[in-house]
A and B are shown apart, each in its own frame.
Chain A
């Protein structure tokens, strides 16, 4: 009896696989290490390492006459960012990124709210697909399509004419900083395309945040005497701010780094992304391109610290 019990409880390990799984069970740290080493190698060396190498090149010297790069360290490239021509590019990109993020948040919130709180089952699946579907098509194709939609004599123009709003459009296009000669060559057109392209990246995080909101919180708010708008301002909005923050990090950083939309739509004038593209491609000025790359990173770091200070992540 005793012997049979013993043999049943203390089974000898069969084979190396069995022994390995026992070892991993007894040493959870080893298990974690095995799990994490491949992604950490990828993330640390390929991703982070190359980013640091790139940024390091921002301190190399570019010789304008010979068009060659020498590894002599200098701060000239960073200083050059503050030259009026370059500084304009940064401001133009930054203000577009802010405008796009704000507009996306305003547009995305009602959709996300409806998805999270008023749809179930198949309707919810339909909305997911509807929101994601534009992302299935190539981004360049969509942008080209928009150049046609917004062009003179295009669909957008036709709608405006049909609605009798041509004078209003004309007025808007004449505002400096917003307008341009036609919609497709205006700041407004560029803004519209950016909002169109990045909107799903704003909807999904807000929807996820609202989805996590227990219905009893809203009932508790109403129960305590809050009218619907008070519940919205005091409970729903503060608790969805992490989602808005996450979404705006996407829209903000994607706009800061984009180089295709600014080339195809809107008035002439570089964005940070197109400047990096030109500097390293056509000019071969890798150090200046690297210096420009630093700008979005710094801007996003500043943006995150502001968002954090506003308490957006307190409810996480």
Chain B
């Protein structure tokens, strides 16, 4: 079966090379047969890579330890869900999974565009397949997932215990989906640049893909944060690790694009800037992959490090040269004559929002690469850790939060003083009142205080928009409030979906600010029966419980939690020892509430004395990060859902195609 898997990858590479050549030649010579052959070869790539993935998955599930990959990343006792996750748990498997998702998206794009974008599609196929060629060449010539061991192993080395967690089942696929789907707008941008069709068509065709990519990048980052929170056991969820940064940067640039593209659609401005943002988002996904795989910067994600760095840096340089060259070549055609008419306009607000988002992305990039720069210039190794990123990004984040409130409600073109009063008087008063009340309640001035007050301001603008929209419908159509609200959102999903996304973002901001600024923590070594205090909770270490199976041995400290003299929970923080890699891990015990999380970690246990060292944290409002993520997902789903008008247009187009076929 391994030979079949390798053959499938090799054939997929040949088909991808053919798809690139045929698509380019077909487009250049205007030959439909070649274009169709290129598209069919791309379908074949998907089929062949799917076969390769199925073979590797089968090898994992049947514990075929003759394969080096299966022996290195699974074991016979690994639970089945993590055996499936082992597909992307290691270097080779994750690259194969990446190219599978890419081939799947290429197929979907081709199916979507059978009857449209005929001039762009050969170049889109060529660009997507060129990316596939790179990954398939790595899998064929450099890092073969079907490599056989000289002597089959009797047992596998098991999946890294840190990855044996529910969130790791969904964090990497979400992130890969976000990364890979960024290839689609990139491919359309390349096609638009090559063909000179620089109007809005390529943007309209990829709007949902850009949103889809952003959605999965958002989820991927949040799932990763949740994984870190539950698994790493240090009380936090974001450590500004280089690989976290690598996933955060394309998200920031993609967010900037989703805002600035509205200016192009509405006012035909910022064509060059939007093109740059799309190309930069994709480039950053490759840069992120380079960081993860190269080991050039030390990271907690070292389980995926390899010698692939030079290949990725080469690909990165090629992408930058080709994309940059095309932009420079088309610069005269990309320039628009329109202009932003006033600082007090939505265009200007979105532009400053873009500036801050890209500024934060740059700050994160700069902090990530600065240790390499320092070593290169001074020959001195330094660390750029959380204190740097927090200090640099906090002020930029607060400015961004303010702009989240301004951008969506300020008037297009030029806001008059009357427009400004109408849009902002209420929310500003609400924000100021909140600032005063928070101070009176004992919240000290600082970034967290500013975040809470600005959060109220932003929510004020959003609530006001919903309220005015509902009132307008009620006045005109005499609808009940609930129906007016549902139809208001249903009729303009993109706009109101966007507002809902902003509510989610505010919740995330508030959760991050509160849990960063007001966290309480304590560490104590306790004998059975002894208690410690953290915040308003008393934690009594009662006893230990242990259990063991063939895969893992665990020791839990049973901790009774009292609040105001009343028992509110019994928590069981654990230490686990995974038997095959002989690696200990921490299993956090959580009591989550909307107001705060009580987070308890078993730091150490001494069997001789029976004493346990407990680390306990009270993380205020941290749940709002995850709730914000759910709200953000809801808003994005609403924004992506086709409107009745779009559905009608699609049905009409399908009918036209059907009639033509008959």
Binding between chains A and B: no
Report B's interface with A, CB cutoff 8 A: none
